[in-house]
């Protein structure tokens, strides 16, 4: 399937989670996690999901369970229970994040960028959308160069956690400044290569798309509108 179809599928699945009641939401959130676990190529991504969702859960529980509040107010009643809406919120975030991991596994960055550039989007917009996905390699390389330079100046990147935390400033501040300084060179380089000179560019490697995919994308987006409308109506009746 075309990367855009996968993207719309992810969007539909994640946003739909916002409209579901808790019992269904639990099953809804288990599905992407189960697929990650069953799919051998995607299994490693469960660590990323856990690394993001477990601290998020702890944070939400600390803030909303009133345990901290009862502890500091010396109240006799200590509550460990988290409100239902927090559980629902956490499950929604799990759906978003786990489904996004599946999307990333299914659609490699280069395929998505190629799809952006071969789409009908203006070239500038396509570049803007692709930008965040492209930063990783460039920042990694800059960071390695800065690390090398700072090591030569005596900054140690080994040692205890606190010592390593202290090295974040000498790493990040040059990275940020360098990235901003490089913008002029990068934009000149793009101009020299006729970027945005014409509204459309030649597509050498078009991304395959089934005939029914645009239709499916429209249907999924319409489904979201219907779900959202039904949810709003239900809430209005319930409050009214």
Partner 1 sequence: MALSLDIDRLVVDVYGVFQLGPMTLKLEEGQWLAVFGGNGSGKSLLAKFLVGALEDSAVRHVHGRGEVLGSNILLENEMKYTRQWVQQSPYLQFSGCCFTVEDEIAFGPQNLALPAAEIMIRVETALTRFKCQHLRLRNPQTLSGGEAQRVLLACALVMHPKLLVLDQALGRLSPEATYQVLDVIQCYVQELHCSVVMLEHRLFPAADYCQQRVLLNEGSASPFGEQLPASLVQHVVLPEQLKTVLLQETQNINEIAHLLSPFMRGGQACSL
Give yes or no for residue 134 binding partner 1 (CB under 8 A): yes
Q: How many CB atoms within 10 Å of residue 14?
A: 20
Decide if 64 contacts 86 (C-beta within 8 A): yes
Decide if 95 contacts 114 (C-beta within 8 A): no
Smallest gap from Cβ 178 to partner 1, in A, equals 10
Give yes or no for residue 186 binding partner 1 (CB under 8 A): yes
Give yes or no for residue 120 binding partner 1 (CB under 8 A): no
Give yes or no for residue 191 binding partner 1 (CB under 8 A): yes
Contact code string over 77-116 relative to partner 1, x by CB under 8 A = --------------------------------xx--x---
Give yes or no for residue 125 binding partner 1 (CB under 8 A): no
Rank residues 32 and 174 by Cβ distance to partner 1 and give the closer one.
174
Alpha-carbon distance of 15 to 22, in angstroms, equals 14
Give yes or no for residue 194 binding partner 1 (CB under 8 A): yes
Give yes or no for residue 192 binding partner 1 (CB under 8 A): yes
Alpha-carbon distance of 176 to 184, in angstroms, equals 14
Smallest gap from Cβ 102 to partner 1, in A, equals 22
Compute the C-alpha angle 126/131/132, nearest 5°: 130
Decide if 105 contacts 41 (C-beta within 8 A): yes
Give yes or no for residue 54 binding partner 1 (CB under 8 A): no
Sorted by sequence, the CB contacts under 8 Å of residue 97 that are 6+ apart come out as 49, 52, 53
Interacting residues with partner 1 (CB under 8 A):
109-110, 113, 117, 123, 127, 130, 134, 137-138, 141, 182, 184-186, 188-198, 200-204
């Amino acid at each position: 399937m075309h990367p855009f179809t996968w993207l719309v599928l992810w969007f539909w699945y994640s946003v739909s989670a916002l409209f579901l009641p808790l019992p269904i939401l639990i099953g809804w959130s288990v599905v992407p996690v189960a697929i990650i676990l069953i799919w051998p190529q995607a299994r490693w991504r469960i660590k990323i999901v856990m690394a993001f969702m477990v601290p998020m859960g702890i944070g939400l529980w600390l803030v909303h369970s009133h345990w901290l509040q009862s502890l500091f107010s010396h109240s006799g009643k200590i509550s460990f229970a988290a409100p239902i809406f927090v559980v629902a919120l956490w499950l929604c975030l799990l759906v978003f994040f786990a489904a996004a991991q599946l999307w990333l596994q299914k659609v490699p960055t280069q395929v998505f960028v190629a799809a952006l550039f071969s789409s009908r989007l203006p070239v500038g917009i396509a570049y803007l959308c692709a930008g965040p996905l492209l930063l990783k390699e460039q920042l990694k390389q800059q960071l390695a160069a800065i690390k090398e330079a700072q090591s030569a100046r005596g900054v140690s990147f080994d040692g205890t956690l606190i010592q390593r935390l202290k090295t974040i400033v000498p790493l990040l501040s040059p990275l940020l400044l360098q990235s901003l300084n490089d913008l002029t060179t990068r934009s000149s380089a793009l101009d020299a290569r006729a970027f945005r000179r014409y509204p459309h560019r030649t597509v050498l490697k078009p991304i395959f798309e089934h005939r029914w995919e645009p239709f499916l994308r429209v249907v999924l987006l319409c489904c979201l509108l219907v779900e959202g409308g039904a949810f709003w109506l239900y809430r209005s009746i319930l409050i009214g």
